[in-house]
Amino acid sequence: MLIAIPDVLKPVEVAEIRRLLEASPWVDGKVTAGEQSAKAKYNLQIPENSDIARQLGDRILRALGASAEFVSAAQPLRVYPPLFNRYDTGMKFDDHVDNAIRPVTGANMRIRTDVSSTLFLSDPDTYDGGELIIEDTYGTQAVKLPAGHMVLYPSTSLHRVAEVTRGSRWASFFWSQSMVRDDGQRRLLYEMDVAIRRLRAELPDDHPSIRSLVASYHNLLRRWAEL
């Protein structure tokens, strides 16, 4: 399931994050790649254990917690601390699948990567190329969203970042371990939640149809959730 979520960050928030990132040191992006991915990865990253990465990561986590769309789509149990990367002209990330398990730096824990997320920090007209290209059940999809918008997709997907041919593409990326491991089940719950929210905009909350759908939603979540 590929879902684009608009306006996770407001333009003023994107500008402030960009200002802080511009003043920060960048390192070779291979530092967070697995053995196979490192052979395909050509980008830069903010060191994940740096103060600025933690500060900005916490800001993004708060924005995610306030996003009903993210919570509905990802059903997050744990979210990996957000990382930050940039692709300058000539940089790319060839076809790869994200590591299934990631240890959290500085914490005695690991997460299973069920849902991958990219939060764009550059507007599309500031760079050429740099599309996030995802192979999913609906075929190949190229994603290039406005700054502050985010895309979610299954971590099992083969994906790549096309070579940047002009400008620089900046983003935050991270993974979620979902309460609902199966992507098909997550899709059904998300579509049901979207329908419930639409009905609530048209009918009173105590309408029998809404009560019935909400009950079914929670009973399915109770059946499928892993805590």
User: Which among 39, 35, 55 has a CA at the least distance from the CA of 47?
Assistant: 55
CA distance 177 to 181: 8
Per DSSP, the residues of 162-182 read PPEEEEEEEEEEEEEEESS--
Question: Does 207 show up as a binding residue in the annotation?
Answer: no
Q: Taking a C-beta distance cutoff of 8 angstroms, is the pair 121, 17 a contact?
A: yes
Question: Does 149 show up as a binding residue in the annotation?
Answer: no
Question: Does 159 show up as a binding residue in the annotation?
Answer: yes
CA distance 112 to 100: 6
Binding-site residues, in ranges, read: 96, 98, 159, 169
Binding-site residue numbers for Fe cation are: 96, 98, 159
Name the binding residues for 2-oxoglutarate: 169
